[in-house]
Amino acid sequence: MLRNRAAAALLALAACSSGGKDKADDAYPARLPMPQPRAPVVMPTQPPGAQWTAGVGLVQFGVPGQQPLLLIACEQQGSPGARLRVERLVTAEPWAKAFFALVGARHVVHLPVDATTGDSGMHWVGTFAAADPQLDVFADGAPIVATIPGGGTLTLPGSAEEARLVTDCRRGAAPVASPAATAQSLPNLPSNPAVSPAAR
């Protein structure tokens, strides 16, 4: 009789212990592995020995004998539709868009560029009217700090080559109104925020 009671007590205790363990397992979810840290992004750096060189209707910056880092070319020179093509030859994501930041001695501009496929693969390209005042940053011939997202920074020394290219490309090109001139040409309407209250 006593043995039967002891056996029953042990069975009940085992059942309670098993039930408690299941509840504890339900209360604490399975431990998930921690994500591994990503490797830091290494930005391209400007190689030593990079310099400006001129060609027919273009100038480029890079190490002689290697793929250029930056290329500026004049298209349709001598016509009203003359344009300057700016290429930053560093890898770009397909379909991406960005602003190419250029900080010169007297000008700070952000040129809109698109990821474009070329002989060197996917890189950044922007095409602008030759008379676009933003291109004055090249026409100065002063040093320029040029930065593209994910592509690092170039320190461009001052040179007469890019200034000469921009000047020559602008000969015969149609003028482009500056943003300030465009605002002044807007109609004098009450809804026009470019017009001061005194002018209404």
- pLDDT tens track for 116-166: 988 778 899 999 999 999 999 999 899 999 999 999 999 999 999 999 999
Of 69, 65, 63, 68, the residue nearest 48 (C-alpha):
63
Reduced to 3 states (helix: H, G, I; strand: E, B; else coil), residue 180 is helix
Domains, the chain, with CATH or none: 51-178 (2.60.40)
- pLDDT tens track for 55-67: 999 999 999 999 9
Cα–Cα distance for residue pair 37/40, rounded to 1 Å: 9
Looking at residues 60-82, what average pLDDT do you find? 94
Residue with the two structure tokens 């009203």: 80
Query: DSSP letter string over 33-46?
Result: PPPPPPPPPPPP-P
Helix H or strand E encompassing 2: helix 2-27
Cα–Cα distance for residue pair 90/118, rounded to 1 Å: 11
